[in-house]
C-alpha cells in the first residue's frame, strides 16, 4: 500500500462493522498480522484506537468489508506519518479525565463501547476504548458504566502518584450525560440503576470521599468521543488536537 490514496479519518463517519457473513472471506493470517501491527501502534497513536479495536473484533472470521476497513486505517496513517503526542514543558500539574460511551455500538451483541482518556499536566497519558461486558438498556447506564471504568483508571494513577508523595484529590471527571452524573451521586434512589451490576457502583464512594468530582461537559467538547465511534472529519480533527496530537513536521 505504498502508493495508496490517503484517507482523512481512520473510519468514515457512521461506520458500523458487522459479521458480514454473506461477503467473501479474506486471508485470516494476513488480517491478524495487520491487526497485530496496528494494535502495537495504538500505544502511541490514540487517534486510531477505536478503529483498530473495532476491526480487531472480527479476527476469527474476517471478511472483505473488514479488510477494507483495515486498509482505510493504513491509508489514514499514510497521510499522518508525522503525527504524534506533544508534551510541552510549561504546564501546570493537575489530573483530569473524560469518559464517554456509544449505546449498543457493537453489531454482534449490541454491547456498548466505553471510551476514556486521562491527562496529567494537560498531557494525554492514558486512553481506553473497550466493549462493555454487559448490555446497557439506556444511554444513562452505558455512560455510567463508562464513567466507572474511567474512575478505576483515575484511582490507579492517583495511587501511583502517592509513591512520589503527591496526593491528588477532587480529580475532575467530565461526562456528557446529566443522568449518569446523578447516578454517580445517588444510585440508590435513581430509577435507571436497577439493571446495573453492583460492581459499578463503587464510583459513588470515591465521589463521597472526594477522590473525584464528576462534571458535565457538552458533547462537542467531549474528548473521549473519539474512542467510542467513527466521527466526521471536522469532529475528528478537533478532538485529535484536543488530545495534544500535532504534526511533527511543523516543528522543524
Half-sphere exposure of 233 (CA within 13 A, CB side): 3
- CA angle in degrees (0–180, nearest 5) for 241-46-240: 15
Q: How far apart are CA 176 and CA 72, in angstroms?
A: 29
Domain ranges of the chain: 1-81, 95-229
Strand 171-175, strand 113-120: pairing: unpaired
Q: How far apart, in Å, do the first and last CA atoms of the chain sit?
A: 27
Q: How far apart are CA 35 and CA 22, in angstroms?
A: 22
Beta strands in 132-186 (DSSP E): 171-175
Could you give phi then psi for residue 248, rounded to 5 degrees?
Answer: -60, -25
What's the pLDDT at 180? 87
pLDDT interval class at 136 (50, 70, 90): confident
What's the pLDDT at 165? 87
On whether the CB atoms of residues 115 and 50 are closer than 8 A, the answer is yes
What the block records as the C-alpha cell of 58 is 472480527
Q: How far apart are CA 228 and CA 50, in angstroms?
A: 6
Strand order in the sheet with 212-216: 123-131, 113-120, 95-102, 171-175, 212-216
What the block records as the C-alpha cell of 130 is 473497550
DSSP assignment, residue 248? G
95-229 has which CATH code?
3.30.420.10
**pLDDT tens, position by position, 50-89:** 999 999 999 999 999 999 999 999 999 999 999 999 888 7
**pLDDT tens, position by position, 22-61:** 999 999 999 999 999 999 999 999 999 999 999 999 999 9
User: For the chain, what is the mean pLDDT?
Assistant: 89
Amino acid at each position: 500500500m505504498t502508493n495508496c490514496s490517503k484517507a482523512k479519518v481512520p473510519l468514515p463517519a457512521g461506520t458500523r462493522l458487522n459479521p458480514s457473513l454473506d461477503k467473501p472471506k479474506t486471508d485470516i493470517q494476513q488480517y491478524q498480522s495487520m491487526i497485530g501491527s496496528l494494535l502495537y501502534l495504538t500505544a502511541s497513536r490514540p487517534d486510531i484506537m477505536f478503529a483498530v479495536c473495532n476491526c480487531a473484533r472480527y479476527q476469527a472470521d474476517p471478511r472483505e468489508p473488514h479488510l477494507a476497513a483495515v486498509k482505510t486505517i493504513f491509508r489514514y496513517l499514510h497521510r499522518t506519518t508525522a503525527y504524534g503526542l506533544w508534551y510541552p514543558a510549561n504546564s501546570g500539574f493537575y489530573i483530569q479525565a473524560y469518559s464517554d460511551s456509544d449505546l449498543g455500538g457493537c453489531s454482534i451483541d449490541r454491547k456498548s463501547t466505553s471510551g476514556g482518556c486521562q491527562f496529567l499536566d494537560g498531557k494525554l497519558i492514558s486512553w481506553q476504548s473497550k466493549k462493555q461486558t454487559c448490555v446497557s438498556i439506556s444511554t444513562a447506564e452505558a455512560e455510567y458504566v463508562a464513567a466507572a471504568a474511567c474512575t478505576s483508571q483515575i484511582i490507579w494513577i492517583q495511587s501511583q502518584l502517592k509513591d512520589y508523595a503527591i496526593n491528588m484529590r477532587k480529580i475532575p471527571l467530565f461526562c456528557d450525560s446529566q443522568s449518569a452524573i446523578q447516578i454517580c451521586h445517588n444510585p440508590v434512589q435513581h430509577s435507571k440503576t436497577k439493571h446495573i451490576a453492583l460492581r459499578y457502583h463503587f464510583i459513588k464512594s470515591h465521589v463521597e470521599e472526594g477522590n473525584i468530582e464528576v462534571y458535565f461537559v457538552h458533547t462537542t467538547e467531549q474528548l473521549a468521543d473519539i474512542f467510542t465511534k467513527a466521527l466526521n472529519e471536522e469532529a475528528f480533527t478537533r478532538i485529535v488536537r484536543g488530545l495534544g496530537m500535532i504534526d511533527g513536521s511543523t516543528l522543524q
